[in-house]
Structure 1
Amino acid sequence: MIWESGMNILGHQRILELLPRVKAQTFLFTGPEGVGRRLVARWFTAGLNCEGGFPPCGDCASCRLEAHPDYLEIAPEHETKTGRRARLPQIRLEQIAPRESEEPNLLDWITTYPRFRSKVAVVDGAHFLGEAAANALLKVLEEPPSFARIILIAPSRELVLPTLVSRSLEIGFAPVPEALLQQLTSDPEVLAYAQGAPGRVRWALEHPAEFNRLVSRTQGLLEAVQAGPAQTLEALKLLGEVEGALPYLGQRLRAHFAVESPAYKAALEALARAQEADSAYVSEDLVQTWLALKLSQL
Structure 2
Amino acid sequence: MKPSILGHEHILRLLPSLSSQSLLFTGPEGVGRRAVARWYAYGLNCAKGFPGCGDCASCRLEEHTDYLEIAPEAQTKTGRKARNLQIRLEQIAPREEGGESLLEWLSTYPRFRAKVAVIDGAHLLNEPAANALLKVLEEPPTYARLVLIAPSRELVLPTLASRSLELAFGPLPEETLHGLTRDPEILAYAEGSAGRVRWALDNPALFNQLVGRAQGVLESLAKGPAQTLEALGPLLETEGGLNYLARKLGQSLPPEDPRRAAALLAIHQAQEALSAYVGEDLVLSWLGLRLWSVMAER
TM range (shorter): over 0.9
Which amino acid in the other structure matches residue 255 of structure 2?
Answer: V
Which amino acid in the other structure matches residue 95 of structure 2?
Answer: R
Deviation (angstroms), 1:192: 1.3
Note if 1:188 corresponds to 2:184: yes
Residue deviations 1:128-150, cap 9 Å, x none? 10001100111100000000000
1:38 corresponds in structure 2 to: 34
- Give the distance between the partners of 1:102 and 1:190, measured in 2 at CA: 40
Deviation (angstroms), 1:245: 1.1
For the aligned residue pairs, the C-alpha RMSD in angstroms reads: 1.0
Deviation (angstroms), 1:200: 0.8
2:61 corresponds in structure 1 to: 65
> Contact conserved, 2:7 with 2:172, CA < 8 A, in 1?
yes
TM-score (norm 2): 0.97
Deviation (angstroms), 1:37: 0.2
Choose 178-187 or 22-31, whichever is displaced more.
178-187
1:208 corresponds in structure 2 to: 204
Residue deviations 1:84-139, cap 9 Å, x none? 22221111111111011042111110121000000000000111100011001111
- Give the distance between the partners of 1:28 and 1:53, measured in 2 at CA: 22
After TM superposition, what 4+ stretches of structure 1 lie above 4 angstroms from structure 2? Answer: none
Deviation (angstroms), 1:254: 1.4
The 5-angstrom pairing of residues 228-239 of structure 1 reads 228-239=224-235
Identity of aligned residues (%): 66
Note if 1:15 corresponds to 2:41: no
Note if 1:274 corresponds to 2:267: no
Note if 1:127 corresponds to 2:123: yes
The SS at the match of 1:210 is helix
Residue deviations 1:146-193, cap 9 Å, x none? 000000000001111111001000000011111111011111111111
> Contact conserved, 2:250 with 2:264, CA < 8 A, in 1?
no
Select the residue among 22, 28, 36 that pairs with 2:24.
28
- Give the distance between the partners of 2:77 and 2:219, measured in 1 at CA: 38
Residue deviations 1:50-85, cap 9 Å, x none? 011011111111011110000000011122223222
- Give the distance between the partners of 1:81 and 1:219, measured in 2 at CA: 37
Residue deviations 1:221-280, cap 9 Å, x none? 111111111111111111111111111111111122222201111001101111111111
Deviation (angstroms), 1:206: 0.8
Which amino acid in the other structure matches residue 107 of structure 1?
Answer: L
Select the residue among 55, 80, 84 that pairs with 2:80.
84
- Give the distance between the partners of 1:98 and 1:276, measured in 2 at CA: 34
The SS at the match of 2:179 is coil
2:152 corresponds in structure 1 to: 156
- Give the distance between the partners of 2:246 and 2:22, measured in 1 at CA: 35
Note if 1:262 corresponds to 2:258: yes
Choose 149-158 or 80-89, whichever is displaced more.
80-89
Structure 2 segments unaligned to the other structure (5+ residues): none
The SS at the match of 2:246 is helix
Which amino acid in the other structure matches residue 199 of structure 1?
Answer: G
Which amino acid in the other structure matches residue 76 of structure 2?
Answer: T
> Contact conserved, 1:222 with 1:256, CA < 8 A, in 2?
no
The SS at the match of 2:148 is strand
> Contact conserved, 2:11 with 2:167, CA < 8 A, in 1?
yes
